[in-house]
Structure 1
């Protein structure tokens, strides 16, 4: 007898099937999302653990599984049917070496929650990639090989996790099958880790004994660890409270402006992701750093206008008043503004293979704003094993230190502890465009608030008018012996005959006084040029034409000085003399000393010279006399 009852799930009508699909989609759309990372030392089993989670949550298609099984047999996994790490280690170099190099992101879902997991590399060389993965995580799974215990990289990653503000931490003691599921081994590792965790400020974490290889305590509790009374890893991930890592919605309103939305003349809105707090039409707001105030007129989204918007939502705000607001500025609650400053104490995590150069200008990106910034010599470097503060003059790859940072203009900010979006930054090399560091602001330096620019009645325009000339900086750069000083001297004499008011800053002369405390290391060369640039700027403010003759070997520092000047006032003159010609002249005997090893850090021999990319003028001293070179410079300066 056939049963056509609609209550029998086998014989559902199309309408009921449609209702089931809608209910299923709604359920999965409304599930919360947990972003987490796996980190730890090399070979602690991070990739294997993620592969196991993907496999057990049935997030692998049949063709992927077949390929995985074939790859596992090809690479040989000591009898293991499937090498779960191959699901995540996608780079050829990773498979060949059996390690994770890049950050691999994977998505999977269960009935209770959606997940994005970042498998981060354990090798010390790739710590910078781990920082990238941790920057957006809500939770960190720190793995420890049960055979090895707490290692240096375990401590390093734990310290970074704490620095980056991740409050949900799982200590996964992996490979328990290789220590016979010993409770004594597990307890000793947890005890060792607890002492270190408390010393760096991690007050709470969950410890779970697991085996990614065997699947113990991954999705369900294992009979092999009857002494463990906690939850398995996946159930913990499904239920952990991620509100700990989110910005509270009752905090003061802050929204960095990412884009000025101007589709037509009748609409002007400011788009961005709300970093904290909530916004409603009518709320008084302030735009920083300008300090202009207005009220929110409308909250516009793709789905229509909103009556309220909260932290984590991307919206467009329109204001009641036409005030200046652009990308990088921050809209905040009018009665609870952010601090604005240009000098900060910060923790810096150095991520580049070339060491940090104190005094060099880097791009600092914070929120949607990018400004020029210099990092001072570190106050100290942190030993991640002992937490000792070590004296240092720079930071090498993966080093963590505390240093002061100065930006070229005031920026709105928050401490990283209060708001990750407005307190975290990256540093970018101006020449290579590579990210070289990540950092977290602690606080503004007090002197940043106490020092203000004094407005003067006789301004730079008045000084220039009195001298009947336009201020300028003629910046001669080139190798030692190229003829910079000779040409600069001729230029000044010719300008003097034209009744121009000038001053010549020569590299050797400046080192007799202003910069006599500086040597010739890369950091000292940078500071030498910075000071000269500041002096040249003051002289242009007084209306002078400033002529300089400095090797100034680095492009970034020449660009730094250019940035100090008014547009069009900086004239970079590349005195282009081949090394063999400059060395043949060697009027001071410096090249001979450098060749013999008596003179270190000499440009062109054991220190590089970076040729200007686009100088205003190039002088070839093999073709032109000093007189001819001077005439070419003056013709460029005074058309």
Structure 2
């Protein structure tokens, strides 16, 4: 039975005619085909969607009703019924059909006798670069399309650079629309030379160039006896489909690497069974093999490899399994079970390339969720070392990253994570950054290496614990975080609270915004980035003081919810108490004790909260005081009552 017998539009194939062993053989063959994921990319109107539509059509992956709708849509969109507009199979968004461009990433499945495919049609416009990155993140191969009439364009270079950056090492240069240049060999050869010069510059070691016509079908599928299109007798290479069917893909190489399995789930159905479930990302594992859990470093041996269909003698890259170990080791979701003799590294500081994908610019110092494999941690991105100009490849100075920018920066995570360099492992080297409040994916990154300083700095255990400090002072540590507009009365009320606590023989310390800027934070200004760093430092100091058993009072505008939440996450549950000093802007401005509002209104003071810089009021503060309705002393009494008892 050949693949032609099972095409979707081939009416000669009758599944009911298969019986017994024939059905089993057919199902086995379908289930065990290799899967190749690839993307098509290039400049606008290079024919990416048309090419994918042609691949679906030629592989007979279109149902008859889809074909009828396609012919109808082709008439509607201007082909006058003489030719099928294959791009309409892929350009599903109404906005794309109206504009004739691809905006979103469209994924399509098709199959041939030898392999299954998932292809991503990615946008050509520069403004949709982030969408292209999304499509490329899981691809094994990239088809870079070039319009034979236009040659290598800036967007061709941009996408090629991103493809190389994202670790795709199989590149096809598809010189499309050869029918519009009369299948001229000189045109094709010139484009290949231009692209080869550029590819060498960015580090692309090899690529396969194929002259095609997505519209006419030249060199898309093999001709008779595998021959190229008769319109390109001068071309002796493979057709696009033949190349896609025969190229070696990642899973084959992954099985040759050392064993890695990120743990997705600790499987504990009863007291007699404890297994660790996940997808084997690299290598092979067998019962009895020694393994190491990263980042803890604990070692054991594999006892059994469990699956729904029974225990296995071995598992390889790509398989979903549950491992049981011979020893009771501490292992949870996010950890990596690896070959004991060759485990991945663990660190909490890295250098990485980041592609920024959000309308809001990167906020250096702000805490984002970093998701790498099955690990999710808080990460702070430092100001970029440089931004990469994807058109000239220059390294440009940058303080932040805007939408579609690519830069190199250092990251710090709140705890060590297992990782490998992206060029070694996509699974353990590629990550995404997620905004903690919107849950939107704002960036994608590729780890280069861990910072040496992370390996040289170790946590020094001490004999006297924070519990000991707390017991000596006969009080529970707390951080009372006063936030509100300038002039709201934060410092005045915090001072009143500290005086009352002192009369109660409590050990306290007041950190005031202005006072801190005279020393610890005197190097910081009032830009958004500096405000974030200001609060991060104060949070670290407040945490150390709480570790010493103190009741810490902080009086800072702290305008952003994200940074207040960052400090809250530094402390044990219940020790961070947000006090919102709720004063309307007009009241605070009328007070203007320091004359700051007047300067801000006249333009002499930039980035002033409430005037030309936002203030994000707390949504669920533990304590709220209104200084219009309360005197400072009354507000202090209200706060003291709210935090009792103090032990």
- Measured in 2, the distance between the counterparts of 1:358 and 1:102 equals 29
Do the aligned partners of 1:247 and 1:311 also contact (CA within 8 Å) in 2?
A: no
Give the match for residue 397 of structure 1: 403
**Divergent runs of 4+, >6 A:** 12-16
Aligned partner of 1:622 in structure 2 is: 628
1:298-309 → structure 2 map (5 Å cutoff): 298-309=304-315
Q: 1:535-587: per-residue Cα shift (whole Å, max 9, x none)?
A: 11111122211111111011110011111112211111111111122122222
State the match for 2:345 in structure 1. 339
Alpha-carbon contact 1:247-1:419 (below 8 Å) kept: no
Partner residue, 2:38 = 36
Contact 2:382/2:411 (8 A) holds in 1: yes
Deviations 1:413-451 (A, max 9, x none): 111111111111110011111111111111110110110
Of 155, 158, 163, 2:157 maps to 155
C-alpha distance in 1 between matches for 2:82 and 2:396: 46
Alpha-carbon shift at residue 222 of structure 1 (Å): 2.0
State yes or no: 1:238 paired with 2:245.
yes
State the match for 1:63 in structure 2: 65
Deviation of the 1:178 alpha carbon = 2.1
**What is the 5 A alignment of 1:48-447?**
48-77=50-79, 81-220=83-222, 221-243=228-250, 246-447=252-453
The whole-number CA distance in structure 1 between the counterparts of 2:23 and 2:471 is 78
Which piece of structure 1 moves more, 83-92 or 120-129?
Answer: 120-129
CA gap of 1:240–1:335, structure 2 versus 1, over 3 A, is closer
> Deviation per CA, 1:114-155, whole angstroms, max 9, x where unpaired?
111111111122211111111111111011112222222212
**584, 587, 592: which one pairs with 2:593?**
587
Q: Is the 8 A contact 1:247 1:275 kept in 2?
A: no
Q: Kindly tell me: are residues 18 and 246 of structure 1, through their superposed partners in 2, closer, same or farther at Cα, counting changes over 3 Å?
A: closer
Change in Cα spacing, 1:518 to 1:340, as seen in structure 2 (3 Å) is same
Q: CA–CA distance in 2 between the matches of 1:283 and 1:172?
A: 45
The answer as to whether partners of 1:428 and 1:437 remain within 8 angstroms in 2 is: yes
What secondary structure is seen at the aligned counterpart in 2 of 1:157? helix
Bigger Cα displacement from structure 2, 366-375 vs 28-37: 28-37
Q: Deviations over 1:309-367 (max 9, x none)?
A: 11111100011122221111111122222211100111111111111111111000011
CA distance in 2, matches of 1:147, 1:551: 59
- Distance of 2:252 and 2:134 partners within structure 1: 18
Name the structure 2 match of 1:603: 609
SS in 2 for 1:294: strand
1:72-130 Cα shifts (integer Å, max 9, x gaps) = 11121377521111100111111122111111111111222211111111112221111
Q: Which runs of 5+ in 2 are unaligned?
A: 1-11, 223-227
For the residues of structure 2 that align with 1:588 and 1:191, how far apart are their CA atoms? 67
Shift of 1:21: 4.2
Aligned to 1:5: none
Provide, for residues 197-248 of structure 1, a one-character-per-residue CA deviation record: whole Å limited to 9, x for no partner.
11211110001111112222211422222222212211211222225x6543
CA distance in 2, matches of 1:329, 1:136: 22
Q: From the superposition, tell whether residues 176 and 523 of structure 1 become closer, same or farther in structure 2 (CA, over 3 Å).
A: same
Note if contact 2:74-2:80 (Cα within 8 Å) is conserved in structure 1. no
Find the aligned partners of 2:523 and 2:191 in 1 and give their Cα distance: 51
Q: Return the alpha-carbon distance in structure 1 between the equivalents of residues 301 and 467 of structure 2.
A: 38
The Cα of 1:605 is off from its aligned counterpart by 1.5
Q: Is the Cα–Cα contact under 8 Å of residues 254 and 281 in structure 2 kept in the other structure?
A: no
Q: What is the alpha-carbon distance in structure 1 between the residues aligned to residue 347 and residue 215 of structure 2?
A: 52
1-structure distance, mates of 2:29, 2:126? 41
Unaligned runs of 5+ in 1: 1-9
Q: Deviations over 1:366-403 (max 9, x none)?
A: 11010000001111111222222111111111111111
- For 1:15 and 1:131, the matched residues in 2 are separated by 45
Aligned counterparts of 2:361 and 2:46: Cα–Cα separation in 1: 29
Q: Which piece of structure 1 moves more, 336-345 or 77-86?
A: 77-86
Structure 2 CA distance for partners of 1:13 and 1:312, relative to 1, 3 Å: closer
Alignment of 1:483-632 (within 5 A): 483-632=489-638
Superposed displacement of residue 294, structure 1: 1.6
Partner of 1:4: none
- Specify whether residues 249 and 270 from structure 1 end up closer, same or farther in structure 2 by C-alpha distance, changes over 3 A only: same
Matches of 2:254 and 2:19 in 1, distance apart? 40
User: Any conservation in 2 of the 1:156–1:384 contact (CA below 8 Å)?
Assistant: yes
Tell me how far 1:255 sits from its aligned partner: 0.7
Distance, in Å, in 2 between the alignment partners of 1:32 and 1:544 is: 62
Q: Are 2:279 and 2:318, in contact at CA under 8 Å, matched by a contact in 1?
A: yes
* Normalised TM-score (structure 1): 0.95
Q: Tell me how far apart the structure 1 counterparts of residues 15 and 49 of structure 2 sit (CA, whole Å).
A: 44
Maintained 8 Å contact 2:71/2:81: no
Once residues 250 and 72 of structure 1 are traced to their aligned partners in structure 2, the CA distance between those partners, rounded to angstroms, is: 47
Paired with 1:621 and 1:13, the residues of 2 have a C-alpha distance of 79
* More moved, 247-256 vs 230-239: 247-256
Tell me how far apart the structure 1 counterparts of residues 15 and 570 of structure 2 sit (CA, whole Å).
Answer: 75
Give me the whole-angstrom Cα distance separating, in 2, the residues matched to 1:435 and 1:444: 23
Aligned residues: 628
| 1:7 alignment counterpart | none
Distance between the aligned counterparts of 1:72 and 1:509, measured in 2? 71
Does the 8 Å CA contact 1:255/1:332 hold for their aligned counterparts? yes
71-80 or 127-136, larger mean C-alpha shift: 71-80
Q: Distance in 2 between matches of 1:38 and 1:389?
A: 27
Q: Following the alignment from structure 1 to structure 2, what is the Cα–Cα distance between the partners of residues 250 and 54?
A: 33
CA contact (8 A) 2:295 2:336 kept: yes
Q: Name the CA distance, whole Å, in 2 between partners of 1:580 and 1:334.
A: 64
Aligned residue number for residue 6 of structure 2: none
